[in-house]
Amino acid sequence: MTRVGSSKNETMRKTEKEDKSNIVLGEENSVKSAFNHSGNSGAEKLGKEFLLKALRNMLTARTLDNKTMNLLRQGRTFFHIAGSGHEAIQTAVGLSLEPGKDWLFPYYRDIALVLSIGGLTPYDFFLQCFAKAEDPASGGRQISSHWSSTEMNIPTQSSPTGTQFLNAVGVALAGVKKKQNYVTIVSSGEGTTSQGEFHEAVNWASREKLPVLFLIENNKYAISVPVQHQSGGKDNSVACMMGGFENLYTARIDGTDFYESYSSVQEALKYIKEGKGPALIEADVVRLQSHSSSDDQKKYRDKDELEDDLKRCPIEQLSKRLLSEGTISKDEYENLKEEIASEINNAADEAFKAKDPVAESAARFVYDESGLKESLEYEKNRPSGSPIVMVDAINHALQEEMAVNDKMYIFGEDVADAKGGVFTATKGLSIKYGFDRVFNSPLAEASIVGVATGMALTGLKPVIEIQFGDYIWPAFMQYKSEIASVRYRSNNKWFAPVVTRVAVGGYIHGGLYHSQNIESIFAHVPGIYIAYPSNAADAKGLLKTACRINDPVLFCEHKGLYRQSFAMSPSPDEEYLVPFGKAKIIREGTDVTVVSYGHSLWDTVLASKKLEEEGYSVEIVDIRTIIPLDEETIFNSVKKTNKVVVIYEDTFTAGFGSEIAARIGDNCFQFLDAPVKRIASQDAHIPYAPVLENAILPNRDVIYKGIKELIEF
């Protein structure tokens, strides 16, 4: 094993280490010499019990792989991703951790790793394979090889490659802030290191010297794409590629050799626990089965290469050594294999007989069902303080919630003082509550959201800022595949209630990249609440509610309303909360209903005043939250006026107003005296010049004419 890093190459440094199984290395020997293939037996240093435990774990993982492939051929299960060839490094890592204290973000091949820390039993494994209701990982909601255990600090795993790295950094950061002494381990194959979020995660962890172990299991193939088409490091090495990070310990090892693997892991953990920074181990392993049960590697891999890989089988290497050293006899080895096979066969038979999930549970746990949200006291008094603009109301909400919740952390780009956010929404917060709780992030949206997700998994309440909705898209994978589905895919065992504040909307002459509305895209993602206030009081009340509930919230702040006088309102007190899913009728009327939100709502108010002067009566509904949507208030208003216009700032095609219009058509058709009308932006990008912007966005004149046209229909 060689160390490759930011400063210089070096061999393994000496250390004295007591393994968690109370098997002590010799005091006069370094870890490296304890695992030397020549001289004194490694068994003498690690102990028979420990080595047999490792061998048993590796055999169990391999037998599970083989058994599952047989079940697939029989049509009794549906999918499998094998870890055969990865067992040595995985077992070495698992036997080096403190289960229930350290955190683990494994990837889909890590069956031996999850087994080794007690996060999985063969019975648990088959419950997942057969998609049974008692599957502890997901209750049958995820495909097999997606691990989860609250007891072992294994957050529910998703399928996208790379998203887990930032989540792991978030967990590590949370541990540092809470002054808890644990290590976070995150693993993947070498192909995943091509993802940008891997590099962002290593950057954040290295910069802050976070206690993270990055385990890269390099089997040379990302499905069919060989490593030489993936990594730009010297000799296609991931460890070499990451060598520029000053605080990052890097090593490239033979991951099929249990002794070298265990030695390397001990050295890396020593470095981490000394507070020097994170570590990255690139373990060269072999993929002895195809990428998955849906793949056939014989189509793209050379026969000689496959045969060479078999010669490096980690189980063969370890068992031969233990047999040659007399640590285990041939009969004991055969008996061990038979015992494991019997245990696994029995586990499969029992799991197959377990109950299937019931169809009625399929849509449960998209959101929190604990009753917390319903137990809060909403709008207990009328806002009666001095008039306040929206951006200040938001600042006050954050100030108040930080005071009552010491688990709340605020971060994002430029949010710390003296800047206090590009719109000053967070001004004064870091001075008042400290730069440990209110801090600047790197300029990387995926990093902000991914790290916040990890922090939330540990029980913290991150409230993050994305400066402009236009720049949220690098983080969309984190929202769609991580935050939104955590509760659902874990069958209600994990949740990540991150609050994201984001400035949206046009009318500020910001051009294409400072004017976007994003609510319709996120509304398509189950699991995220979306607020879109139109005035200061609602902004404060909704944001305070978002900070208290146990669901993720996308909090859209129209920057065109931040300091507008018409969006001002009396300042609410510190107990003022606004419920999600409760619209507000801000103007009573009888001739037509207008459903709107955000900036468009105020253009509607001005248009309705002009129409009132002409003798028309307009009822205006401010929906306040996109998800959940208060259908009842909308439908009751439509039934009253019998005509409805939906006005929104997003594009006409597929903007969220289209969804509102469709629901009105489905539920109120018999009450309508005219077609459901929509007024929205043109299907174009938002230009810079004021005259062009005004032509694209729904302006007051267009809104006035559109409402009047429907009234006179």
Any idea which residues carry the catalytic annotation? Answer: 514
Residue 238 contacts residue 231 (beta carbons within 8 Å)? yes
According to DSSP H, which parts of 187-329 are helical? Answer: 196-207, 238-241, 258-273, 303-311, 314-325
- Residue 535's alpha-carbon distances to 310, 467, 559, in angstroms, are 67, 20, 12
Q: Are 684 and 515 in contact (CB under 8 A)?
A: no
- Alpha helix stretches (DSSP H) within 622-712: 631-641, 656-668, 690-696, 700-711
d(CA 98, CA 103): 9
Q: Residues 680, 696: contact at Cβ < 8 Å?
A: no
CA neighbor of 620 nearest in space, from 680, 533, 707: 707
The total number of residues written for the chain in this structure = 713
What are the helix and strand counts (H, E) for the chain?
A: 26, 22
Give 135's Cβ-side CA count (13 Å radius): 29
Which pair of structure tokens corresponds to residue 595? 């459903």
> Strands 592-596 and 625-627: what pairing?
unpaired
φ/ψ of residue 558, rounded to 5: -75, 115
Q: Are strands 438-440 and 461-466 parallel, antiparallel or unpaired?
A: unpaired
**From CA 191, how far away is CA 197, in angstroms rounded?**
13
Q: Does the N-terminal peptide bond of residue 418 adopt cis geometry, omega within 30 degrees of 0?
A: yes
| CA atoms of 452 and 464, how far apart (whole Å) | 7
Q: Which is nearest to 332 in space by CA: 320, 323, 341, 324?
A: 323
Kindly write down the DSSP assignment for every residue of 70-123, as one continuous string: HHHHTTS-------TT-HHHHHHHHTTS-TTTSEEE--TTTHHHHHHTTS--HH
SS3 234: helix
List % helix, strand, coil for the chain (3-state, nearest 5).
45, 15, 45
Calpha distance 137→151 (Å, rounded): 11
Please name which of 522, 418, 420, 539 lies closest in space to residue 479, comparing C-alpha atoms. 522
